[in-house]
Amino acid sequence: MMLPLIAFAAAAASSAPSCADGLCNIRGLEPFYEKLSRQPRNQPGKRPIHILQIGDSHTAGDTITGSWRELLQARYGGGGRGVLAAGRPYQGYLTRGVTADMSSGWKIAATFGGASVPPRPPMGISGFSLTSQQPGARIGLTADAGQMFDRFVLCAEAAPDAGTLTIRAGTRTERMALGSATQRTECRTVELDQPSFRVEVVADDRPVTITSWATFRDNGGVALSNVGVVGSQLQHFARTDDRVVAEELRAYKPDLIILAFGTNEGFSPIFRPNEYEITLRSQIGRIRRLAPGVPMLLFGAPDASSRRAAMLTNAPGQSPQPCAEPSIFTTMASASTPATPSPATAEAKVGTGRLDGLLSELGEEGDGSGDDVAPPPPAPAAQVPVTKTIWSVKNNPLFPPAGLRAVRDVQRRVAGQLGIAFWDWEARMGGACSAVKWVKANPPLMRGDYVHFNSAGGRDIAQRLNTDFERAHALLVAPR
């Protein structure tokens, strides 16, 4: 029986997940890192390495992805802003690195929220679509200096009654006629002779539906796209249409796809792990089918906290422990006021050889200079405020929802079984209840909702992610 047991142990060891700090199953990223190692910087005509992240509000806000984009492009070179939801699909829509504008005359549909009510037009990876309601309806995009582009891609729906779009990018003007005998998705690529900062799309006549757009700089480097829907879950991404997603993936050609869902699942009133696992496995399989050969990375849900008692039991298993919170107390304490030495005393202390002066200060006998001289009385103790911070569990405490732990358990297990890279976001924050410390940091790194990161926190998370990402790169691919 010894040999089979040894063989089993060896097989288990060989299948154990390889990790670089918080990033595990890194073997799944090897094809991506091979491309990245060969990617030139500042080579005209060379398409950028493209990372496509799909997720919820953490992705949509671009606080973290935007900071990571800056780190990647600083090292490997800028490859453009990447894929975006077209126009301004909701109030407060953030587009770091570019500014989007939109006229009236558009109807918005989404995979989640009020705009998701059926019937919906077809939708792709951005989770939104815009349908023109009147001729002349316009959307535009203006890039910052660091995100100028020389390739623009627009994806829209061709259909029997569809109209025509006019695209003005840089000095180029093209018309995109979408009338077709059959309904299909068409992605138009406009290549420019030189980098531009402005593109405008106008609906000329009959209604048209736009699903996404993108700007790239074909000069080597890296592009990081963030497409997310605020409040959404992975099950809502399942509402996108295979036909649209497949055509967009062919046009945008991602080299790595990141799935970053889990927070909203973990805050669900009732989280059912078995149902979530079915959704996760089916969507991973779907993406693999629509983007064959493209490596994937799964982000584990980050730590977050709530005071709602219902979140203690929103998933099977043991209820989470409450989090300690800081209380700040100010008390008065005594502090001695140091005496200021005379010039002669200071001179003796630094080694001038005037031992008599030092002895005189100490009240000792010397050459008679200190005789009959009483030492000065001690200075009265001063009262100064002292601030103390005590961490303790309070009434109505904060705690991480039980659902978040259950979400991560499923994500980690499925990623390991399917050979997909997994980033343990919660662990890289510091573990359970770390959200409280991030909120209470000075300066704060998270917002007061104990869920979302502010700009400083986004930079911190991006740096931690990038450190893990680069360490995995170094482990897998020898320097060239």
CATH for 34: 3.40.50.1110
Q: Based on the fold, state whether residues 254 and 360 are members of the same structural domain.
A: no
Q: Structure tokens of 242?
A: 């295979």
Assess whether the previous peptide bond of 119 is cis (omega < 30° from 0): yes
Residue 439 lies in a domain: yes
Is 107 within the bounds of a domain?
yes
Pairing outcome for strands 296-299 and 256-260:
parallel
DSSP 295-361: -EEEEPPPP--B--GGGGGSSSSPPPPPPPEEEEEEEEEEE--PPPPPHHHHHHHTT-S-HHHHHHH
Q: Which of 217, 237, 259 is the last residue of a domain?
A: 217
For residue 128, what is the domain's CATH number? Answer: 2.60.120.260
User: pTM for the complete prediction?
Assistant: 0.86
User: Can you read off the two tokens belonging to residue 72?
Assistant: 């990647």
Of 375, 392, 409, the last residue of a domain is: 392
251 with 303, same domain: the answer is yes
Counting the structural domains of the chain, the total is 3
CB 103, CB 138: distance < 8 Å:
yes
Q: Where are the alpha helices (DSSP H) in 220-272?
A: 234-237, 242-252, 263-266
Q: Is residue 451 part of a domain?
A: yes
Residues 436 and 308 in one domain: yes
Q: Could you tell me if residue 8 is inside a domain? A: no
In a domain, 386, yes or no: yes
Q: Which amino acid is at 193?
A: D
Domain containing 417: what range? Answer: 18-79+221-318+398-480
pLDDT of residue 257: 98
pLDDT at 339: 45
How many whole angstroms separate alpha carbon 40 and alpha carbon 276?
Answer: 40
Q: What is the pLDDT of residue 355?
A: 29
Is position 2 within any domain? no
**Are 428 and 373 found together in one domain?**
no
Q: Could you tell me if 186 and 66 lie in one domain?
A: no
Inter-CA distances, 233 with 173, 315, 460, 464, Å: 38, 16, 24, 24
Q: Do residue 58 and residue 131 come from a single domain?
A: no
Clarify whether residues 269 and 143 are in a common domain: no
Across-strand partners of 40? none
Distance, C-alpha 132 to centroid of its chain: 32
Query: Do 213 and 254 fall into the same domain?
Result: no
Same domain, 28 and 73: yes
Query: Closest by alpha carbon to 104, among 117, 88, 92?
Result: 88
Which pair of tokens denotes residue 462?
């991006």
- Does some domain include residue 151? yes
Residues 170 and 297 in one domain: no
> Which of 169, 194, 217 represents a domain boundary (last residue)?
217
pLDDT computed for residue 374 by the predictor: 53
What is the pLDDT tens value at each position of the chain, 480 positions in all? 333 333 323 333 333 456 778 999 999 999 999 999 999 999 999 999 999 999 999 999 999 999 999 999 999 999 999 999 999 999 999 999 999 999 999 999 999 999 999 999 999 999 999 999 999 999 999 999 999 999 999 999 999 999 999 999 999 999 999 999 999 999 999 999 999 999 999 999 999 999 999 999 999 999 999 999 999 999 999 999 999 999 999 999 999 999 999 999 999 999 999 999 999 999 999 999 999 999 999 999 999 999 999 999 999 999 999 999 999 877 777 665 444 444 333 333 333 333 233 223 323 333 333 344 455 666 666 777 877 889 999 999 999 999 999 999 999 999 999 999 999 999 999 999 999 999 999 999 999 999 999 999 999 999 999 999 999 999 998 554
Same-domain pairing of 75 and 105: no
Indicate if 350 and 372 belong to the same structural domain: yes
Classify residue 174: in a domain, yes or no. Answer: yes
Tokens standing for 432?
Answer: 């359970």
**How many Cβ atoms sit within 10 Å of the Cβ of residue 9?**
10
